[in-house]
Structure 1
Amino acid sequence: MNVIEYADQEMLSMNVANVLAGALKKCLLVHDFASFAVPGGTTPGPIFDMLSGIALDWSRVHVLLTDERWVAEEDGRSNARLIRERLLVDHATNARFIPYFQNGMDAASGSAALAETLTSELPLSLLLLGMGGDMHTASLFPGAPGLKEALASDAPPLCAVQPQDQDIARVTLAAHVLDGAMDKHLVIFGDAKRAALERAATLPPEEAPIAAVLDELTVHWAA
């Protein structure tokens, strides 16, 4: 992995937005479309705000989530809702968005139903990730039921997981899908997460799921 340090979080957000836009433009020069997987949470919000204001052929960009809580978009906990409010605006309004939640299905059946749709998006052109202090990424949580299956090399593209300390099921892109992205970026803030990332490099993915995607990963860090 390659770690890039920034003076502050605002500078990081500006630079990462430009890096991602450049990667999308480069991909679209040689491919019919670009598949772009993005996380939820608060960290990427400022990046999305800046990225959505950059002009490129967004109509050929397919946006999908790295993971999602199994709730309708009207729910404030929905990552899809965040993406629609922060990324799919301004120039990026024309991007194609692939939501996961399916009415009338649970996380397991819903993720299975989406397998064919997601397979056509692979390998991912561009991936943006976050990481928790517990070294989880996407919804690959250490010790969570479903983690072993999502780490398997033959896992379906989208897997259901149920973190033990949470009452909402989640779906997540499988580890091999994340790791197989053509261009991978991770954004983290603070000394604690920097230390956690360095520790993850010494651990197996079962204990530190972020370890599954460290090869050729670009890490963007600010205090």
Structure 2
Amino acid sequence: MILTEYPDRDMLALDLSDRLASELGSALRHKERVTFAVPGGTSPGPIFDALTAVRLDWDRVDVVLTDERWVPESAERSNTRLVRERLLQGHAAAATLLPLVADTPTPEEALEGLSEGLLPHLPIDVLVLGMGADMHTASLFPGADRLEAALAADAPALMAMRAPGAPEPRITLTAPVLRGAISIHVVITGAEKRAALERAAGMTPAEAPVATVLDEAVVHWAE
């Protein structure tokens, strides 16, 4: 793990967006299409805002969420909605969003179709993850119903997940897909998450799911 500290969250967003743009640009020079995986939640919003102003061959970039809450796209808690409103704007509006949600009552009913759409775009070229204070990442939560299966080396690319404290079912990229990304970044802010990160570094992925990627990740932190 490489830990990069920033004086404030604005500087984190600006510097990380520059680095992500550089990595995407490098990948585009070597491949016809690249895959950019991003988290939901509110924290990545300023990073997305900065990326929308970057000139890239966005029409050759496929964007996929690391996980999604099983809610309609119109819902406030929809990660898909966040990405459309904050990342797929400006120059980045030309990128293609790979769906991670469907109009089915549960994620299990959509897994096969969503997986078929995702698999041709793996491995991920550039991956950005968040981390909760409980040390979850994507929708790999401590105590989740299928966490052990999602951490396994032979896990499918996508799995449905339910966890204590998560108010709706989720769909998530699994540990092998996250670990297989060419470039991995984890973004955290605040003292609570910094302390959680330090604990996670000495724990197993079953205890602290974010630990599954820490060995290969650059962690970006600001107070």
| Fold match (TM-score > 0.5) | yes
Structure 2 equivalent of residue 82 of structure 1: 82
3-state SS of 1:193 partner: helix
Structure 1 residue 105: Cα displacement: 4.8
Structure 1 equivalent of residue 63 of structure 2: 63
Deviation string 1:51-82 (CA, Å, 9 cap, x unpaired) is 11100000000000000001111111110000
Find the aligned partners of 2:193 and 2:200 in 1 and give their Cα distance.
10
Alignment of 1:139-178 (within 5 A): 139-178=139-178
Structure 2 equivalent of residue 212 of structure 1: 212
Structure 1 residue 153: Cα displacement: 1.0
Structure 1 equivalent of residue 92 of structure 2: 92
Deviation string 1:172-223 (CA, Å, 9 cap, x unpaired) is 0001101110000011111221111111111111110000011220011111
Deviation string 1:63-105 (CA, Å, 9 cap, x unpaired) is 0000000111111111000000000000001100012111135
Paired letter, 1:195: A
- Tell me whether 1:49 sits opposite 2:27 in the alignment: no
Structure 1 residue 165: Cα displacement: 2.2
Find the aligned partners of 2:53 and 2:101 in 1 and give their Cα distance.
27
**Is this contact kept in 2: 1:131–1:188, CA < 8 A?**
yes
Find the aligned partners of 2:104 and 2:122 in 1 and give their Cα distance.
27
Structure 1 residue 44: Cα displacement: 0.4
Find the aligned partners of 2:138 and 2:191 in 1 and give their Cα distance.
20
Find the aligned partners of 2:16 and 2:214 in 1 and give their Cα distance.
18
TM-score for both structures, normalised by structure 1: 0.98
Structure 1 residue 117: Cα displacement: 1.7
Alignment of 1:178-217 (within 5 A): 178-217=178-217
**Is this contact kept in 2: 1:136–1:208, CA < 8 A?**
yes
3-state SS of 1:209 partner: coil
Paired letter, 1:36: F
Identify which range, 10-19 or 149-158, moves more after superposition. Answer: 149-158
Alignment of 1:105-120 (within 5 A): 105-120=105-120
Find the aligned partners of 1:79 and 1:4 in 2 and give their Cα distance.
26
3-state SS of 1:216 partner: coil
Give me the identity figure in percent.
52
Structure 1 equivalent of residue 34 of structure 2: 34
Show structure 1 runs of 4+ deviating over 4 A: none
3-state SS of 2:29 partner: helix
**Is this contact kept in 1: 2:99–2:114, CA < 8 A?**
no
CA RMSD of aligned residues (A): 0.9
Identify which range, 57-66 or 98-107, moves more after superposition. Answer: 98-107
Structure 2 alignment gaps of length 5 or more: none
Structure 1 alignment gaps of length 5 or more: none
Find the aligned partners of 2:72 and 2:200 in 1 and give their Cα distance.
33
Identify which range, 54-63 or 96-105, moves more after superposition. Answer: 96-105
Structure 1 residue 152: Cα displacement: 1.1
